[in-house]
Structure 1
């Protein structure tokens, strides 16, 4: 059966990448989530998509210019109109503490340089040991630098290539960097490519899938998982109401 990942929690149902968003996914019965990570000024892993604060908080500046303590006091509900209560930017550690029901994470890392890759992966490794994430997470990225660094240094978690445009063969790229997952923009997911990826031993996850008919089509095609802003809809469509 195709697995369901809540995109940034439940992005269409609660402010993205906030604790209420991840709780919405859990309420829908979805225990797998995708999220985004950036480093704070004091090198803490923050759960936020953009490198800048404007879109979700309305504030100026970059995530990397603020400490984790400062960021967790910022309200990140701006991206979803009419949400009634403040939604602070969480640290990854806070999410792990507050939502232990989550069974699996796609941790998408946005940083690109080798130095950033080392810092981010070291921080993820520390949390992996602390929260026993060894079989509960995959680190994904579109950054070849990060994936190369992870492979070269025998990083402890599986990795996945995030591919949006397909300018280079994504399957060859994923294999080159020792990835276990291929995270495809759904528009790149053809039956031929899916068969080739599976033959290469890759878990194929597609994003962002919010239309019921598209969910049915991709499930019938045989994708391993899909990432959706609407976990509640995906549960109804894919699981037909079954838990």
Structure 2
């Protein structure tokens, strides 16, 4: 059965990558989460999508230039500002505390593509091991060098190559590098591509699938999970509504 993965939580209706968004996704019945990590000036692992805070908060500047205590002063409510009160940028630790003991898939995207955060892989892996959730994790990145570093540091962790390039023979590429998952845009997937990926024993976790007809098509193709801003819509498709 295809898994329902909340993209930055329930980001279609709530401020993305906030504790509120994660809580609302849990209430909607997700099978797991996909979210993004950066490092602050003082080395805290924070959950936010962009390198800069301008789009998602009422502040400006780069995540890397603020301490975590400074970052927490900004409202991360984004386009939902004023609707749900004040929402701060959470830490990875807060996410793990929220979901402790739950049977969830957690796809952590390492944002090491534009800014290379030295030591982020080590920090994230150490926290995963601290909480004992190794079997529930997928680490992904558009920076495939970052993923290869993760496989070297923690070969037991499942990893995924993010891709938006309509890669030729993505299953062969992924398998040859010892990586377990392929994370493409859903628009790049058809029966032949899915068959090639599956022929190499690779899981497909595809993004960002929001419309009912696209969700249904991904179910029909048999992908491992759909990453969506609207987990309620995915559950409606699952239930045949």
**Range class of TM-score, shorter chain:** over 0.9
Partner of 1:7: 7
Tell which deviates more after alignment, 232-241 or 156-165. Answer: 232-241
Tell which deviates more after alignment, 76-85 or 9-18. Answer: 76-85
Gaps of 5+ in 2: none
Secondary structure of 1:34's aligned partner? strand
Partner of 2:187: 187
CA distance in 1, matches of 2:64, 2:224: 34
User: Is contact 1:13-1:24 (8 Å) kept?
Assistant: no
Give the Å deviation of 1:179: 1.2
User: Is contact 1:108-1:140 (8 Å) kept?
Assistant: yes
Partner of 1:55: 55
Secondary structure of 2:183's aligned partner? strand
Partner of 1:198: 198
CA distance in 2, matches of 1:139, 1:8: 15
Tell which deviates more after alignment, 94-103 or 46-55. Answer: 94-103
CA distance in 1, matches of 2:124, 2:222: 31
Give the Å deviation of 1:239: 3.2
User: Is contact 2:169-2:196 (8 Å) kept?
Assistant: no
Gaps of 5+ in 1: none
Give the Å deviation of 1:156: 3.9
Partner of 1:149: 149
Give the Å deviation of 1:154: 4.2
Q: 1:79 to 1:176 in 2, by over 3 A?
A: farther
Partner of 1:216: 216
Partner of 1:25: 25
User: Is contact 1:33-1:102 (8 Å) kept?
Assistant: no
Give the Å deviation of 1:115: 6.6
CA distance in 1, matches of 2:89, 2:227: 21
| Structure-2-length-normalised TM-score | 0.92
| Structure-1-length-normalised TM-score | 0.92
Q: 1:77 to 1:113 in 2, by over 3 A?
A: closer
Q: What is the 5 A alignment of 1:84-95?
A: 84-95=84-95
